Structure 1
Amino acid sequence: MWIVFSLLAALVTATVVTLSKAGIKNVPSALAFAIQSVLIIAVAWGTVVWQGLWPEVARIDRKSWLILLAAGVLTGVSSLLSFKALSLGNASRVSPLTNLALVFSVTLAAIFLKEKLNWQILVGVALMAGGAIVITLAEPSE
């Protein structure tokens, strides 16, 4: 089931990139991100309430709070950087580079989470990185 959710997340992310690029044509990238963030907060907390998870907030330990807060700040920084990149470049070239996060995620998971990497994962990471490089170096079609 994780594969289905992963593919749906990828499809939604691709749609978000496309809509964001279209939406920032006449709007500063930081303002566009702020507008989307308000809606993200509403959807996220709405989901927490709808699923009855509100009481769980009090049960989160200090270490988890710190990790989640750090991840939240980095998510915001990542989104601001992505919006800025989209405001300056074509979505078809920006998105592959921002999706090098996949390569970095595999690397960081191996280092910090001690996840094991096999040859298939390493080949996949190399192909993803290679694809992003090829797209980045391609002549822009204008």
Structure 2
Amino acid sequence: MWFVFALLSAVFAALTSILAKIGIEGVNSNLATAIRTMVVLAMAWGMVFLTHAQSGIGSISRKSWLFLILSGLATGASWLCYYRALQVGEASKVVPIDKLSVVITLVLAFLLLHEEVSVKDVVGCVLIGAGTLMMVL
């Protein structure tokens, strides 16, 4: 089931890029990010209440709060940079560079989470990196 959700995530991320590129025309990138964030916030809290998950707030540990907040700050910084890049660059160039996050995530997962990295993973990352270079040069 994780694969279905991951695939849907990729489809929606692709739509996000195209819809954002069209919608950001003539709009300050920071304002556009804030509008997008308001919609995401409403959707996320809507799902919390729809699934009755709000009762779990009190059981979240301090460590989880800290890392969820840090993750939120990283997401915000990513979105602000992404929208600015989309505003001034071509979507077909910005998106491949943004997807280098796959390679960076693998490296960070290895260094910080001590996850195993196989030869297949390294080859995949090299191919992603090479493919990104080919697309943006």
- Range of TM-score over shorter length: over 0.9
- TM-score, normalized by length of structure 2? 0.98
User: Aligned pair count?
Assistant: 137
1:4 deviation in Å? 1.3
Residues 83-130 of structure 1: CA distance to partner in whole angstroms, max 9, x if unpaired? 000001000000000110000001101111111011111111111111
How far has the Cα of 1:51 moved from its partner?
0.8
Tell me if 1:50 matches 2:50: yes
- Paired amino acid for 2:56: E
Provide the C-alpha distance between the structure 2 equivalents of 1:120 and 1:63, rounded to a whole number of angstroms.
33
Query: Is 1:93 matched with 2:90?
Result: no
Identity score, percent: 39
Pairs within 5 Å for 1:1-142: 1-137=1-137
Aligned to 1:140: none
CA distance in 2, matches of 1:51, 1:115: 32
Could you tell me which amino acid in structure 2 is paired with residue 63 of structure 1? Answer: K
Cα RMSD (Å) of the superposition? 0.6
